[in-house]
Amino acid sequence: MDVFKFGGASVNSAEGVLNFFKIVQSYKNESLIVVSAMGKTTNALEQIVDNFFHKKNDLVQKQFEEVKAYHFDIITALFSKDNTLSVEKIDVLFNELNAYLQKPASLNYEFEYDQIVAYGELLSTTIISEYLRQKGVKNQWVDIRRYLKTNDTFGEAKIDWELSRQLIPTAFNFHDTFIYITQGFIGGTSSNLTTTLGREGSDYTAAILANILDAREVSILKDVPGVMNADPKWLPDAKQLKRISYQEAIELAFFGAKVIHPKTIQPLREKNIPMYVRSFINFFDQGTLVSEASIEKSAKIPIFIQKKDQRLISIRPKDYSFVIEENLGPIFSLIAKYRLKVNLTQNSAISFSLCVDNNNKNIDKLIESLKENYEIRYNDNLELITIRHYDTDSINQMTEGRSILLEQKSRDTAQYVLECDS
């Protein structure tokens, strides 16, 4: 059995779904297919969440209708006019979502986020499953929330591995079908409340299912030919990496490479399951193999990772005392409290600096809390450049003529917090 994960870009239109069908039709092995929300649906639903939570009802309804129209444009192009049953199934989901949006929001933003945003994956997988059925491809749609169980940390739920290991094999047994369609990114608590696994969590879902079901391999379908040494939209001369180790993949994901979700690798490494990152346009090209096998350092080329919209926060005790464990403990407790991901840290005798994504609504709350005991300075409009397997030329390429606010090097990695080019 093989696991496939199709990202939102691969099914962002009727043409994308037709291409999906060609890939599935050509593949004869038992397949478990994990699908993300279509196109930019997650972004659109996130806007709905924000307006719903802040009681901007007119905007909520307008944005809901836009999301519905986007999906029905795809449905109209895909389904025959007499296929009313499939359209009714999709309509049921929109009616459920619309009814939810008529209720008053709770006081828990993350809870509301999970209940609303999950509809992106429910819609995409229903459309795809029904289209395959229309084309004569037998498949079974599975609501993953019933089987992939998590705790109730809404917004970034943790997997309940013990319960999930009990339930998942009962859903994907390949007795009645050799193709399953299910959702990435979402799960459910033991009391059946919807949760999400963190942004871009569909890769992680594929890895979890592969681990529990002992898959032969995993294929992640992207809009790039494989793992590149840089985002080609940023550096057009980016080169494809044909083969990387699990360790290298973990490092790249940790530093912000968007092609692999940070949590994806560990479940695969635990059972030595190889993963291919492939293009959904040129599916039969090999792509990039991620496996236990490593590459000699001499064969490695510099890998560039860019994180935009960063904030650099500098923290200093008001009494100019040394920054030691007694200071760092409370600081990291606040970081954990506000659920911020720290991309880089550095400390001197009397200051501590950290670089974080600037798109988290809790950053200002963190700063206000820190101001009670520390002097705080911060800079916005920054970018963080990470260079794996750096050399002099690669550092110069990234930093020449740029204002460097902070830099840090280890044996294999150099990182620079830079002011953005005007």
pLDDT for res 339: 85
CB count, 10 Å around CB of 188?
22
Helix (H, G, I), strand (E, B) or coil at 329: helix
Say how far apart CA 196 and CA 120 lie, in whole Å. 12
pLDDT digits (tens, 9 = 90+) for 22-66: 999 988 889 999 999 999 999 999 999 999 999 999 999 999 999
Confidence of residue 296 (pLDDT cuts 50, 70, 90): very low
Length of the chain: 422
pLDDT for res 212: 98
Mean pLDDT value across the chain: 93
Q: What is the mean pLDDT of residues 358-382?
A: 90
What pTM was computed for the model?
0.89
Q: Give the residue, 197 or 347, on which the prediction is more confident.
A: 197
106 in Cβ contact with 55 (< 8 Å): no
DSSP state letter for 8: G
Say how far apart CA 220 and CA 245 lie, in whole Å. 16
CA distances from 206 to 131, 143, 184, 212, 412 (A): 22, 14, 7, 10, 29
pLDDT for res 284: 84
Q: What is the mean pLDDT of residues 186-195?
A: 98
Residues whose CB falls within 8 Å of the CB of residue 345, separated by 6 or more in sequence, listed in order: 352, 353, 354, 355
Q: What is the mean pLDDT of residues 265-272?
A: 95
CB count, 10 Å around CB of 18?
14
Q: What is the mean pLDDT of residues 316-325?
A: 74
pLDDT for res 166: 98
Q: What is the mean pLDDT of residues 398-416?
A: 95
Confidence of residue 298 (pLDDT cuts 50, 70, 90): very low
pLDDT digits (tens, 9 = 90+) for 278-288: 999 988 888 99
Q: Which two tokens mark 40?
A: 């930019």
User: Residue 311: beta bridge partners?
Assistant: 356
H-run or E-run covering 65: helix 57-78
H-run or E-run covering 92: helix 84-101
pLDDT digits (tens, 9 = 90+) for 127-167: 999 999 999 999 999 999 999 999 999 999 999 999 999 99
Say how far apart CA 101 and CA 88 lie, in whole Å. 20
As to burial, measured by CB atoms within 10 angstroms (0-12 exposed, 13-18 middle, 19+ buried), residue 324 is exposed
